[in-house]
Chains A and B, each alone.
Chain A
């Protein structure tokens, strides 16, 4: 890899480190900064919020406080600061779950090849026929009160076939390389070949995919809250806040627009970051 990275016109210049190249990527840096700010707001928010998340500070939809009050007279700013952590944690766990399941499916399909590959990818196509939100909604039909782990699993499962496609594509280019044959010839176990030889060589494209999946996870988790499927009807949650205060969009717009803005900025940040990583990994090889 180092041989190809060196530019042919300036052979004396040494290859810049990955970190240095990452810092020169404007999209990556700005995306990472935006994401970091929102993550900090979500984590530190509950500590600095002026009021509790269920504390009534004035009449409903009034202009008491910086961003006014919501449908029950609770402080919008405080609920905004309290409401990020749930979205962030569920979205992160869902992304992680979807990535792990998807990578396992994709790598096993690519490594087994032949008939297994065909069957696994066909089944994958079946799940792909469901738009991501539909998969979650269909299961929630028979559930009375959704729990946090259900949303993690549902959003994760809806990512898995999409991740599997990418992981299979990347792994196909690796499983036929000489070092994999060498490991097999040495009599390594299948699981060890996959874990020690195949996986470590596919981390850059998968990292980009992970960033993208995080963007969608945030949208889906907040979206489920917006559609009214929340894990805890009383707690503050960005998606749910939009749902609760929607009718007052013309009279107290901040109760709706504040969570809308913060979700929007968050997804823009993670998406820019994912694109930056993707460009970096393409140039890196």
Chain B
């Protein structure tokens, strides 16, 4: 269920500064983007705090049926979560801790949250990283094949398959892959990650299906955007000129078209990478992969508020940072935008 890439136009944000030296304009532009990112993160923290503590009754959720019976536990939890204090004070305390790297203490097992989640963060990071490394050549490759056969039968078939895949929820893809490759049809790969002492990637076979699921969930979007950019470029005048000069179609596709599709490609890949941070929730649950997604689902089930707050801040933070980097990269790679800033 990745989002359809609504490509932000990086230039839209930029009012070309007048009468200043190029490097000053650059510094101003970067400062403005950093400021906006920090502002977004701050608002994200407000939203996370309100959603986790202010909307429902956390203690009632944690204790369930015991709420009315166990007064001592209610008092103890109220103490631990500081619920006697005003919401503003609690928010400021939490934010202060967050800025100092203190993520609080887990309610479920009383361990510091930072210590609890660190290995899961690393596991998820590796999973997303491997998926991205596999994703980029696969998506661009499919797009190039499709663009090569543009408006002919193979292109239509590829596009219809991609469209069908794009709508499938990740857990559907994941379970179908498990049934196909590990339990029902073939028995080649392990169905779940068995939590051992080391990292999951110590056994490479464990990583195959989770990575495949993430790639299958995201590649269709990237491919479709890259293909439509390729087609746009292939219809342009300078590509026509290159063809008329006698340059073979393959070289035209690779040199003239692909390089111009890189910038929209970066933007859609970055949006999808940020989306992967959420996609891991389903994929890790399907495969029992010990990452932040699986931990998040467990913590939500246990109403472990400090862990949920920390994990949601991490996921939203990744989104903001990845978007920032992608904006910067696409401006640097587009000569038109570069001059718009420094002129």
Contact = CB atoms under 8 A, between A and B. Distances in A.
By Cβ-Cβ distance, the 10 closest A-B pairs, closest first, are A131-B278, A271-B167, A142-B56, A219-B169, A250-B183, A267-B167, A126-B43, A129-B316, A219-B1, A144-B61
Interface stretch (B47-55, B96-104, B195-203): B47-55
Interface in B286-343: 296-297, 299-301, 303-305, 308, 312, 315-316, 319-320
Contacts of B53: 142
A143 interface: yes
A134 B1 contact: no
Contact of B278 (A132, A142, A250): A132
30 contacts: A126-B47, A129-B316, A131-B281, A134-B278, A137-B297, A138-B51, A138-B52, A139-B52, A140-B300, A141-B52, A141-B56, A141-B300, A142-B53, A142-B303, A144-B61, A162-B3, A218-B169, A219-B167, A220-B169, A222-B171, A229-B300, A250-B183, A257-B179, A260-B176, A263-B169, A263-B172, A264-B172, A268-B167, A271-B166, A272-B163
Contact of B6 (A165, A271, A272): A165
Given A137-B296, A137-B308, A142 B55 contact: yes
A249 B312 contact: no
Contacts of B39: 122
A183 interface: no
A272 B297 CA distance: 31
Nearest to B281: A133
A207 interface: no
Interface of B: 1, 3-4, 6, 36, 39-40, 43-44, 47-48, 51-53, 55-58, 60-61, 64, 160, 163-164, 166-169, 171-172, 175-176, 178-179, 183-184, 191, 274-275, 277-279, 281-282, 285, 296-297, 299-301, 303-305, 308, 312, 315-316, 319-320
Contacts of A263: 169, 172
Contact of A123 (B43, B52, B57, B301): B43
Nearest to B58: A142
Nearest to A270: B167
Contacts of B64: 144
A245 to B, nearest CB: 11
A69 B92 CA distance: 53
Contact of A220 (B1, B47, B308): B1
A140 B58 CA distance: 10
Nearest to A130: B316
Interface in A142-182: 142-144, 162, 165-166
A199 interface: no
A45 interface: no
Nearest to A154: B51
A264 B166 CA distance: 11
Interface of A: 27, 122-123, 125-135, 137-144, 162, 165-166, 212, 215-216, 218-220, 222-223, 226-229, 242, 246, 249-250, 253, 256-257, 260, 263-264, 267-268, 270-272, 275
A159 to B, nearest CB: 10
Contact of B305 (A134, A141, A165, A260): A141
A114 B241 CA distance: 43
A226 B56 contact: no
Contacts of A249: 175, 178-179, 183-184, 191
Nearest to A135: B51
A271 B163 contact: yes
Contact of A142 (B52, B166, B168, B172): B52
Contact of B315 (A125, A134, A257, A267): A134
Given A130-B312, A133-B282, A139 B172 contact: no
Contacts, number: 172
Given A212-B4, A219-B169, A141 B163 contact: no
A223 B171 contact: yes
Given A125-B40, A137-B296, A142-B56, A242 B171 contact: yes
A271 B175 CA distance: 20
Nearest to B319: A129
Q: Which of A125, A138, A264 has the most CB of B within 10 A?
A: A138
B299 A141 contact: yes
A216 B1 contact: yes
B285 A141 contact: no
A143 B56 contact: yes
Contacts of B176: 257, 260, 264
A219 B305 CA distance: 25
B184 A253 contact: yes
A242 B1 contact: no
Given A131-B277, A249-B179, A141 B315 contact: no
A257 B308 CA distance: 31
A137 B175 CA distance: 21
A256 B179 CA distance: 10
A65 to B, nearest CB: 19
Given A130-B319, A264-B176, A267-B167, 14 more contacts: A130-B315, A133-B282, A141-B299, A166-B6, A223-B1, A223-B171, A242-B175, A249-B191, A250-B184, A253-B184, A257-B175, A257-B176, A257-B184, A267-B169
A140 B308 CA distance: 10
Contacts of B163: 27, 271-272, 275
